[in-house]
Amino acid sequence: MTLLKVEGLTKRFGGLVAVNKVDFEISQGSIVGIIGPNGAGKTTLFNLISGALPPTGGKIIFDGTDITGWRPYNIARQGVTRTFQTTALFEELPSWVNLVIGYRMRTKTGLWDSILRTPRFRRERKATTQKVAEVMGFTGLGEYAQMTAGDLPQEAQKRLAIGVALMGEPKLLLLDEPTGGVGLGETEDIIALINKIRDKGITVCVIEHKMRMIMNLVDQIVALNFGVKIAGGPPDMVCEDPSVIEAYLGECIA
Amino acid sequence: MAKYGKAAFVLLIIGVAVLLGLPQLELISQATLNIFTLGIIWSIATMSLNLVLGYTGQASLAHGAFLGIGAYTFGIMAQRVGMNFWLSLLIACLMTAILGFLVGLPSLRSKGPYFAIVTLCFNVIIFKVFENWTWLSGGYQGQKVPRPSFLTERWARYYFALVMLILVILVVRQIVKSLLGSSFIAIRSNENLAESVGIKSFSTKLLSLTVSCFIVGLAGSLLALQNGYLDYTITNYLYSFYLLIYLLIGGVASLAGPVVGTFGLYFLLWQLEKTMGEFSEFRWLMFGLLLIVVIIYFPMGIVGGAKRFWEWIKKKYYSRRGEVYG
């Protein structure tokens, strides 16, 4: 079943076409990798899907709903959450508060609930506490719960960012270089985490530069160069594609 | 973090208890009591700015205007329309909240320093309108503000303001220590990330500004009530900066900060004015120096500095006992 369908997606910045008529599909429960050299438009593609940037043309259909040009918060509420390349966190707040904020969109506590401490306030606070504990355990962040997010080690920050995105109960998780700037052994931990996320039934789309890692992790690859999709399909096939080798890989490593 | 919140809250309660006893002790003169009442009223105004600036991260410089609008709505309702005191108070707060909402609609679309500039412009406009539209403001003569019979005594007004301050602190506390408060804080911390996890930043900021204006409307009404008269200078944009300075020195994003900052500075300035005599103009110079010192060494204000000091003491204590701090 197709979860996300992108048709002729285009983004122009003045004269520069950052993403040019890109088509691809992500099926439910899979892990899709997006590869390409620097400036290929990978992050722009994520920004378009998550609503951070409005597309110039094309269509994004998520779970049967056309979400083209929606605001980021509405897309998140629809079930698409993301992480950022430069790890974005609520840095001066403790890790657990970061997670609380991630769950906020699934709660409805308003002004009167807060002031009067209504039953809904108490119910939702309990649900949030449970969810925070669950995601803390899932991402293995328990020991860092009370620490300020900005003081966490790089690798823990990456996992926390994934945790924040997971709190919103997404159907599709967009990960922008989840292992960027992380050591080798710790990369393994994050790959294990991504596999665990898929096993929970959440579809994952990941931008990555570490080819060896992506070959083992993903089911499908989309290769971009200068904003154009140059190849797509299973990893071994994309890896042998001459245009991908020329643009990005140099030689095949799988 | 929760622990510090509690410690600060307990200190705040103790402070309030001391304030409660003050008029009974007959240690302070009527003039001092007046200054204390004004300090409490300005604390309420600073508290309102704390909600929108300290917690939501939107630097509104229109709070002087909103203060004036609250005061005038109350004054006009009570004096010229001749309405009941409580009803006037409620209408003043609501009116200010509605105006805050309307001002927020366009201005909250700008971010950071641009929002500060837009709101400052609004304040300047309001100031000019009140200065020149004498039918509304009463011009230089201003207008009288009637007091209800139970608030004619100084100490009664003092207690009334104090009760209102406690109510405001409690309401703000309930808001910021809730899931709604976490939305506010998320927007202050990282608005883009907040939007990407589904927080509707615009409407959340608008709600914060509206609630903040409701509270500052209350402060304005109390100010008019305390002074017993009103003129157009109450909408002065300088008050926006005063509130900002009180908040920065006291400590942003804490419940005790606005009260400590406002009360401390208000009282200090008044004392300096009394004692320095002909040199009293120099007090502004000291004020400026204090501001620089606080911003450089205590970026989270007096309350933030006190928390850090408390942390340091605790660390010393635990290390002396040979225990692991944590």
Domains of chain B: 30-273+280-320 (1.10.3470)
Beta carbons of A246 and A223 less than 8 angstroms apart? no
Q: What is the mean pLDDT of residues B71-84?
A: 92
- Average pLDDT over all residues of chain A: 90
Contacts of B252 in chain A (CB under 8 A): none
Distances from the Cα of A207 to the Cα of A8, A39, B34, B92, angstroms: 20, 13, 64, 54
Q: Give the C-alpha separation, A160 to B108, whole Å.
A: 30
- Would you state the pLDDT for residue A30? 92
Q: Which of A47-51, A148-152, B138-142 has the lowest mean pLDDT?
A: B138-142
Residue A167, chain B, CB below 8 Å: the answer is yes
**Predicted confidence band of residue B27 (pLDDT cuts 50, 70, 90):** low
**Both tokens assigned to A40:** 């290929």
Q: Tell me the domains of chain A and their CATH numbers.
A: 1-79+170-254 (3.40.50.300), 89-169 (no CATH)
B19 or A57, higher pLDDT = A57
Q: What is the largest CA-CA distance in chain B?
A: 72
Question: Integer distance in angstroms from the first to the last C-alpha of chain A?
Answer: 28
Q: What is the mean pLDDT of residues B218-238?
A: 93
Nearest one of A175, A169, A195, A167 to A30, comparing CA atoms: A195
Q: Which of A36-45, A170-179, B22-31, B48-57 has the lowest mean pLDDT?
A: B22-31
Residues of B in CB contact (< 8 Å) with A are 1, 171, 174-175, 178-183, 185-186, 189-190, 192-201, 207, 211
Helix (H, G, I), strand (E, B) or coil at A22: strand
* A253, pLDDT greater than 70: no
* B195, pLDDT greater than 70: yes
- Would you state the pLDDT for residue A104? 93
Q: What is the mean pLDDT of residues B231-243?
A: 92
Nearest CA in chain B to A74: B198
Contacts of A86 in chain B (CB under 8 A): none
Helices in chain A by DSSP H: which ranges?
A: 42-50, 72-78, 95-103, 111-116, 119-139, 154-167, 184-199, 211-217, 235-240, 242-244
B189: CB partners within 8 A, 6+ apart: A90, A91, A92, A93, B57
Length of chain B: 326
Q: What is the mean pLDDT of residues B218-237?
A: 93
Contacts of A106 in chain B (CB under 8 A): 198
Residue B87: CB atoms within 10 A of its CB come to 12
Contacts of A126 in chain B (CB under 8 A): none
Distances from the Cα of A166 to the Cα of A100, A143, B115, angstroms: 11, 18, 32
Inter-axis angle of helices B238-250 and B30-49, nearest 10: 90
Yes or no, beta carbons of B197 and A92 under 8 Å apart: no
Q: Give the C-alpha separation, A60 to A42, whole Å.
A: 16
B59: left (phi over 0), alpha (psi -120 to 50) or beta: beta
Yes or no, beta carbons of A104 and B195 under 8 Å apart: no
User: Residue type for B196, please?
Assistant: S
State how far Cα A119 lies from the chain centre: 34
Find the CB nearest B200 among A73, A101, A106.
A73
- Average pLDDT over all residues of chain B: 87
Please give, rounded to a whole number of angstroms, the shortest distance from the CA of A223 to a CA of chain B: 25
Find the CB nearest A97 among B182, B196, B199.
B182
Q: Give the C-alpha separation, B52 to B58, whole Å.
A: 6
Beta carbons of B254 and B304 less than 8 angstroms apart? yes
Enter the pTM of the model: 0.91
- Would you state the pLDDT for residue A125? 92
Nearest one of B59, B103, B117 to B206, comparing CA atoms: B103
- Would you state the pLDDT for residue B26? 63
* B3, pLDDT greater than 80: no
